[in-house]
């Protein structure tokens, strides 16, 4: 049996196509990104080696740090909103009628493309005929702001569709984890006189700590590489006030054809994502996996 199941030719045949694809299209490119960062290159003509010039320029580039700061704000916002999603999931998982249906309703925006969401929310934020401003005008506010054109408001305005898109996703994950907690543990706590808040705070939340940790990583790393919606809705504007790291990279490479510098930004983005993932896992490390 082992002879059949360790046939080297068959293993190669089954694994090689997929392995080649990820090596050529994922692993080689991330190495090349770092390498191209050392070049002066417009993407088509000759490359010339300029050492660490792109990387030192990056460290002094105020526009880049502004975009990095915006990405960082998004990450913080997203991480904080997880608390809200957790509370909603605790309510939904608490034997409420229609929880299944509601959870599915919440998930719907997650299924749509960022472009469709972006176009829809461009209309929602439309200065005169959009949902938001029509509502504000009907409440008697005469001159509501043009949300996406105000440098001070644009980032907060963009955060609403981002919440809208991902709320259902995190609620789903928490709900699934909470439903996996054995009923006997909750029953035992009730017999000991614990109330709903105590059960939620002292039993349910600690039991799904591992899942919460994963969602923190997903939310923060996801925000750091956030791109589609912002690119379509504002293109980073007005005047760079909603630029994030990925849109800055895209603009440098495919907007101004500075592929060398764009690569340096891309490599920096990769490093940040990997370091942040590692850091969060380290900081939130639990000593042992919870068994029940």
Residues 61-120 that bind other proteins (CB under 8 A): 88, 91-92, 96, 102-116, 119-120
Closer to other proteins by CB, 22 or 152: give it: 22
Q: How far is the CB of 145 from other proteins (least distance, A)?
A: 17
Tokens 């639990």 sit on residue: 286
Q: What's the token pair of residue 11?
A: 């293993």
Q: Which of 46, 51, 62, 129 binds other proteins (CB under 8 A)?
A: 129
Q: How many residues bind other proteins (CB under 8 A)?
A: 100
Closer to other proteins by CB, 153 or 214: give it: 214
Closer to other proteins by CB, 32 or 290: give it: 32
Q: How far is the CB of 76 from other proteins (least distance, A)?
A: 19
Instruction: Please report, as residue ranges, which positions from 8 to 27 form the binding site for other proteins (by CB under 8 A).
Output: 8, 10-11, 13-15, 17-19, 21-27
Instruction: Please report, as residue ranges, which positions from 172 to 191 form the binding site for other proteins (by CB under 8 A).
Output: 172-173, 176-177, 190
The distance between the two most distant Cα atoms of the chain, rounded to a whole number of Å, is 80
DSSP letters spanning 67-107 = HHHHHHHHHHHHHHHHHHHHHHHHHHHTT-TTHHHHHHHHH
52 sits near other proteins (criterion: CB under 8 A)? no
Instruction: Please report, as residue ranges, which positions from 189 to 228 form the binding site for other proteins (by CB under 8 A).
Output: 190, 192-195, 197-198, 201, 211, 214-215, 217-218, 221, 224-225, 227-228
167 sits near other proteins (criterion: CB under 8 A)? yes
Query: Residue 246: CB partners within 8 Å, gap ≥ 6?
Result: 71, 225, 226, 227, 269
Exposure class string for 109-142: b at 16+ Cβ within 10 A, else e: bbeeebeebbeebeebbbeeebebbeeeeeeeee
Instruction: Give dist(CA 125, CA 59) in Å, integer.
Output: 35
Instruction: Give dist(CA 199, CA 249) in Å, integer.
Output: 46
241 sits near other proteins (criterion: CB under 8 A)? no
């Amino acid at each position: 049996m082992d002879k059949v199941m360790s046939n080297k030719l068959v293993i190669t045949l089954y694994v090689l196509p997929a392995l080649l694809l990820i090596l050529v299209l994922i692993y080689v490119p991330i190495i090349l990104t770092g390498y191209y960062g050392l070049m002066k290159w417009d993407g088509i003509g000759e490359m010339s080696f300029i050492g660490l010039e792109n990387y030192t320029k990056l460290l002094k580039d105020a526009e880049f740090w502004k975009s990095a700061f915006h990405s960082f704000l998004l990450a913080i916002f997203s991480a904080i909103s997880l608390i809200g999603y957790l509370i909603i999931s605790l309510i939904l998982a608490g034997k409420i009628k229609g929880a299944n249906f509601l959870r599915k309703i919440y998930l719907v925006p997650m299924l749509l493309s960022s472009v469709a969401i972006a176009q829809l929310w461009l209309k929602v934020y439309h200065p005169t005929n959009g949902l938001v401003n029509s509502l504000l005008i009907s409440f008697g506010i005469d001159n509501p702001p043009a949300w996406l054109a105000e440098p001070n408001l644009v980032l907060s305005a963009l955060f609403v569709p981002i919440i809208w898109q991902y709320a259902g996703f995190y609620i789903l994950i928490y709900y699934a984890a909470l439903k996996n907690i054995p009923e006997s543990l909750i029953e035992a706590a009730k017999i000991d006189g614990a109330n709903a808040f105590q059960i939620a705070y002292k039993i349910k939340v600690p039991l799904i700590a591992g899942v919460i940790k994963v969602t923190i990583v997903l939310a923060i790393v996801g925000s750091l590489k956030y791109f589609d919606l912002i690119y379509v809705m504002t293109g980073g504007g007005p005047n760079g006030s909603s630029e994030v790291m990925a849109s800055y990279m895209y603009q440098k490479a495919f907007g101004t054809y500075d592929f060398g510098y764009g690569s340096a930004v891309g490599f920096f983005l990769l490093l940040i994502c990997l370091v942040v993932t590692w850091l969060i896992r380290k900081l939130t490390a639990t000593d042992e996996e919870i068994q029940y």
